[in-house]
Structure 1
Amino acid sequence: MKFAIGYSTPYYGVDPDRITAYAQHAEECGFEALYLPEHIVLYPGAMVGSIEIPPSLPYADPLDCLSLVAAATNRMLLGTGVLLLPYHHPVVLAKRLATIDVLSKGRMRLLTVGLGTLPGEAQAVGVDFSTRGRRADEAIDVMRLLWAGGEDGVSFRGEFFDFDNLCSFPKPYGVTQLPIHVGGSSRAAARRAGLRGDGYFPGGALGPDERSLQLDLARSTAFEAGRNPDALEYTRWGSIDMTPERVEAFAAQGVTRIVVGATAIDPVQQRDEISAFAQRFGLLDRLST
């Protein structure tokens, strides 16, 4: 089992010293990676399910924050949970991700993408909300094409993106492709993970039967597409106070990575929570083996 930690700018704030201290302590404790969420814009009345999101929550740009984290740390991987892919142009995004990966010496490796659930957010960036799934699929294909392309350039013809002979450098650090994990709480997301993803990161309040069904769907879709279903990573949110028995239950469900986050707002209490979790699961011992 791998263990990562989340940093929620809406609740912890966007003070750079606080972000870097949180990340550095998590790295010192042995956490594999740090994840950040994304909302590009909010507005009064924005709802996720039955919950209204306060429009003043400071959702900082996750990639900019991860660049800060990369500069302040040495080992931990960089992740998003989730980046709203349909609202980014994939040609620009491919360059940004490759640049972060190069500057961090190969740590931009836990990109997780989702579709977004706020129609007003899609409208704000000129995206038809009903097309965001197809747009995300194309965006994944475009980024991978650009990363793999050489000096002769690559071309693409799609419903949303169309270009000829483009070259995108620098390339990711030491690899031809960056991993792309798929987040979401739907069967469509599970199928997308199987068809195009390197991992699946479901969220939301799903029941155990639906979670199991979605994981099976992701794996069966991968198999039918000629991909290796066993190579598909399975990430889940956990809690900072979870027990070893709970982690064992996650492992029995096929989970390969757990992401937790501090519940305290006070930085000192956050450090205590992070340290206690790391000690409970021997994270530093894992690094030395």
Structure 2
Amino acid sequence: MRFAVSYSTPFHGVDPDRLTGYARHAEECGFEALYLPEHVALHPGATVGTMELPPSLPFADPLGCLAFVAAHTERILLGTGVLLLPYHHPVTLAKHLATLDVLSRGRMRLLTVGIGALPGEAQAMGVDFRSRGRRADEALQVLRLLWAGGEEGVGLDGEFYSFAEVCSFPKPLAPGGLPIHVGGSSRAAARRAGRYGDGYFPGGALVPAERAAQWDAVRAEARAAGRDPGALEYTRWGSIDMPAERVEAFAAQGVTRIVVAATTAEPAGQRAELSAFAQRFGLRDGVATSVG
């Protein structure tokens, strides 16, 4: 089991010293990665499920934050949870992600993408909310094409993106490009993860039966696509105070990574919570050594 941490700028703050302090302490504690979420634009009355999002919440750009974190850390991996893929042009995004990966010496390893849940956000970005899933599927193809393509260029004639003989350099450091995990809380997201992703990172508000059904759907879709379901990673949200028994239950469900976050915005409290978690599970290089 691997353990990572999340930093939410609406809750933890956009202050640069707090962000880098959190990331450096997580690295010192032995956490594998730091995740940041994304919302490009909010509006009055925006809700996700039953939770209303005040329009003044400061959702900082996650890739900008991760580049800043990379410059102030040495080992911790970089992740998004989640990047709203339909709201980024994939040709530009491929360049941004590859550049971040090169400058961080290969640490942009936990890119997780989703399709967004706010119709007003889609409208602000000029994206048809109803077709955002198909747009995301095609964008995934574009990213992989550009990262794998050589000097002869690559092309695609799709529903949303069309180009020919396009080259994109620099490349991510890993051969073939960056791993891409798929986030979401729907059967469609699960199928997308199995068909295109390197892992699945579902949302937190799912009943156990639906969660199990979605993981089954991920693996079934991977098999149908001729892919190895055993190679897929399974990431879940956890709590900073979770006991070893809960971690063992996650492992029994096939979970390979747990992401937790500090429950306070106060830096000393954050350090204490991350330190206590790391000590409880004996973290070393992101892996627990004292579970089971």
TM class, shorter-chain normalised? Answer: over 0.9
Deviation, 1:67, is: 0.2
Rounded to whole Å, the distance in 2 between the matches of 1:199 and 1:8 is: 22
- Structure 1 pair 285/130, CA: closer, same or farther in 2 (3 Å)? closer
Rounded to whole Å, the distance in 1 between the matches of 2:155 and 2:214 is: 34
Deviation readout 1:197-242 (Å, 9 max, x if unpaired): 0000000310000000000010011011100000010000000000
Rounded to whole Å, the distance in 2 between the matches of 1:137 and 1:82 is: 15
Give me the identity figure in percent.
Answer: 73
Rounded to whole Å, the distance in 1 between the matches of 2:60 and 2:140 is: 23
Q: Which residue of 1 aligns with 2:28?
A: 28
Q: Which residue of 2 aligns with 1:203?
A: 203
CA contact (8 A) 2:114 2:182 kept: yes
Q: Which residue of 2 aligns with 1:129?
A: 129
| 1:9-88 to 2 correspondences below 5 Å | 9-88=9-88
Deviation, 1:164, is: 0.8
Q: Which residue of 2 aligns with 1:97?
A: 97
Corresponding position: 1:269 with 2:274:
no
- Match of 2:140, SS state, is helix
Structure 2 unmatched ranges of 5 or more = none
Rounded to whole Å, the distance in 2 between the matches of 1:100 and 1:139 is: 19
RMSD of aligned C-alpha atoms? Answer: 1.2
What is the TM-score of this pair, normalised by structure 2?
0.97
Q: Which residue of 2 aligns with 1:239?
A: 239
- Structure 1 pair 11/226, CA: closer, same or farther in 2 (3 Å)? same
Q: Which residue of 2 aligns with 1:138?
A: 138
Rounded to whole Å, the distance in 2 between the matches of 1:86 and 1:25 is: 33
- Match of 1:283, SS state, is coil
- Match of 2:35, SS state, is strand
Rounded to whole Å, the distance in 1 between the matches of 2:201 and 2:212 is: 13
Rounded to whole Å, the distance in 1 between the matches of 2:129 and 2:288 is: 47
Rounded to whole Å, the distance in 2 between the matches of 1:285 and 1:107 is: 13
What is the TM-score of this pair, normalised by structure 1?
0.98
What letter matches 1:157 in structure 2? D
Deviation readout 1:87-112 (Å, 9 max, x if unpaired): 00000000000000000010001000
Q: Which residue of 1 aligns with 2:111?
A: 111
CA contact (8 A) 2:79 2:112 kept: yes
Rounded to whole Å, the distance in 1 between the matches of 2:244 and 2:78 is: 25
Q: Which residue of 1 aligns with 2:251?
A: 251
What letter matches 1:228 in structure 2? D
CA contact (8 A) 2:183 2:203 kept: yes
Deviation, 1:288, is: 11
Higher relative contact order (CA 8 A, sep 6+): 2
Figure out how many residues of one structure are paired with residues of the other and give that number.
289
Rounded to whole Å, the distance in 2 between the matches of 1:244 and 1:287 is: 13
- Structure 1 pair 174/211, CA: closer, same or farther in 2 (3 Å)? closer
- Structure 1 pair 174/203, CA: closer, same or farther in 2 (3 Å)? closer
Where do 4+ consecutive residues of structure 1 move more than 4 Å? 285-289
